[in-house]
Structure 1
Amino acid sequence: MLQIDEEMEKHNDLLKEIQENPTDINAIAAKRRRDFTGEFFRYVTLLSETLDGLEDRDAVARLATRCLSAVSAYDNTLESVETLDAAQAKFDDILNSPSVDAACEKIRSLAKAKELDSSLILLINSAYAAAKESQTVTNEAKDIMYHLYKATKSSLRSITPKEIKLLKYLLNITDPEERFSALATAFSPGDDHEAKDPKALYTTPKELHKWIKIMLDAYHLNKEETDIREAKQMSQPIVIQRLFILKDTIEDEYLDKKTVVADENPKKEDDTSVEEFLN
């Protein structure tokens, strides 16, 4: 009984750390990979089932999905030694910069050149997590790693396709009617395709439909490839249900059948930014 209590306490401690630092899930996964066990995901599933509020269950499901994605990305990256060596060389070059500003600029340059790959991001996340928790690392070193970590996250957001940003916005709208209204607005920037609001996100039904399919494919792929049995049994998050609803709405209201068939095979090159959305 004591051992079970200790395990539950460990699971609760990990979940609490994730909930308190939702934007640092990748760093947490890198630091505490061994704790993301099948029993942990079973614990999260059981916890979700005890919650009464739909929004609370939705939040836990979203968090669990992001954890799975972070763990999957971590495991997949570790499989390639050559990729890690190349990433380490980039990381060393960043650390050898004459100043923090120069180091952050190198990260931004790598992002613009599409060379800010998952392996390098993993190294930066791991270094930041280790420095943050260390009792021996100086505050100056911790500050440097913090700035590198923030620069990396900022760079990722800057290269995320606008359709992914739009999907994030739509999926966070809880009211269905409001969500569908926002969807219609995103497809109608105004006369001559000029945006009514320069800060708003606009796209075409075909383009958004393509990205929704990519997201759903990535979700199913993550579920199939994970070796955590309990994770596979986890009930489908509401965010995925909303994606399906958006997909069906676009197909029924905005696309003809020929367009839908043509979009069944999205270009492989468009898969590069899916991981950022799930994380």
Structure 2
Amino acid sequence: MADLASFATISSCCSASSAIASRGHSSPSSFIPLGRSPRYLSVSPHFKAYLAVNAIRPRKFSIVAVARSATTVPSDEKSPSSNSSQPASVVEPEQASQEQEVIDVLEYDEGRIRVCDKLIEVFMVDKTTPTDWRRLLAFSREWDGLRPHFYRRCQERADNETDPGMKHSLLRLSRKLKEVDEDVQRHNELLEAIRKAPAELGEIVSRRRKDFTQEFFVHLYTVAQSYKDDKAEQNALAKLGNDCVAVVQAYDNATEDTKAVNAAELKLQDIINSPSLDAACRKIDDLAQKNQLDSALVLMLTKAWSDAKETNMTKDEVKDILYHLYKTAVGNLQRLMPKEIRIVKHLLTIEDPEERLSNLNDAFTPGEELEGGNVDCLYTTPEKLHTWMKAVVDAYHHSREGTLIREARDLMNPKIIKKLEELIKLVEDHFM
């Protein structure tokens, strides 16, 4: 009993100094709001539970105590709440919640700093080249949230670094990585624009051709690889990449080859100046036989007919002439492509399985080949046709569209690929 009485006396005498001690190296249980009478102190159950769970981490409480020290009352001043006539002061649940938020913010900041330090180590030791950085940033789903904190952490460490070499390395990492990061952001912005409006890909290419660089396509396929657990998304991105390659190549072929465009204009002018429609068609046939009928000329004929069709200022007779010239040019251009591709494209238009099998029989039956009019009679072997179809399917699945000839690239479509796979199986089952 005497010991207990002595302890009570000492406790009441030292109540003011306990507030000062709580700001130093006190235990977690001493972390309480200061400036209140010790006789009426009360801690919310929620905050008590937090102290019990986190009692092994006193340093975090000292940080919070320092952050809150501006609200403490000096020990030599009389606290307004020390008057016994005032109602008891307690820690409200709202106050405990605010204290918890402060602690959570500090813990989150410390965790983020650790992540940034780890990334700095990765970029400086494990993955040190811009190529590695591009790949890591393309694969990351969290980098957008970490970006500002990472660069700020690099600057903080450089400012506090005493080793000149390390200081230079940190500043160089921040500068070089920011350059790569800005490139990746531009690539992501372009990719997002394409994904939102795939039907406007041609317009996007014509407006932003300079952005479709080799680095962009590498980035696109890297992003596609990052979806290894989502095959549908991975295939969609690979298909989008193939579409971009095809449109960019078509744009380049149509706009950058000035000589071809000028030559096509001269050919078109010569065709239009023909004395009759038959003479104009013969000129087109003659160009095809000399292998001088190119896509640029066909594009010009297509545009001329399209413009005439859409206006009321052109006579119907002129529209009919331009349409006839257009069809003649397209027919001749199709005959310039390998006959196996022409056979495949014809087979893909047939929906009935029996009719498709019958046409395959006809294609594999040797005979005289006839070209002209509305029907072409062509012959090939099962092995050659199978090789062409397999090349298209393999190029699609391995994203190697650039290895195909131009005439086969329009087959790089998921629905067409499925039909091609059915045709391949049909040829293998019945003819090989």
TM-score (norm 2): 0.35
How much identity, in percent, do the aligned residues show?
A: 43
Match of 2:198 among 13, 18, 41: 41
Match of 2:322 among 123, 145, 150: 145
* 1: CA distance, partners of 2:322 / 2:248: 21
| Offset at residue 79 of structure 1 (A) | 2.4
Gaps of 5+ in 2: 1-193, 201-241, 369-374, 404-411
Question: CA contact under 8 A between 1:87 and 1:120: conserved in structure 2?
Answer: yes
* 1: CA distance, partners of 2:340 / 2:413: 23
Change beyond 3 A, Cα 1:120–1:177: same
2:304 alignment counterpart: 127
Match of 1:162 among 336, 339, 342: 339
* 2: CA distance, partners of 1:213 / 1:114: 28
1:209 alignment counterpart: 386
* 1: CA distance, partners of 2:268 / 2:395: 28
Match of 1:110 among 287, 299, 304: 287
* 2: CA distance, partners of 1:118 / 1:204: 29
Deviations 1:56-99 (A, max 9, x none): xxxxxxxxx99x96886355322222211111121122122222
* 1: CA distance, partners of 2:247 / 2:330: 14
SS in 2 for 1:115: coil
SS in 1 for 2:291: coil
- The residue identity in structure 1 corresponding to 2:281 is C
Is structure 2 residue 409 aligned with structure 1 residue 244?
Answer: no
Pair member with larger Rg = 2
Is structure 2 residue 264 aligned with structure 1 residue 87?
Answer: yes
Deviations 1:158-188 (A, max 9, x none): 445432332133323435576456535543x
| Offset at residue 122 of structure 1 (A) | 0.9
Change beyond 3 A, Cα 1:70–1:104: farther
| Offset at residue 199 of structure 1 (A) | 7.6
* 2: CA distance, partners of 1:119 / 1:94: 14
2:54 alignment counterpart: none
- The residue identity in structure 1 corresponding to 2:267 is K
Question: CA contact under 8 A between 2:294 and 2:333: conserved in structure 1?
Answer: no
* 2: CA distance, partners of 1:254 / 1:135: 54
- The residue identity in structure 1 corresponding to 2:314 is V
Paired residue total: 183
Change beyond 3 A, Cα 1:194–1:145: closer
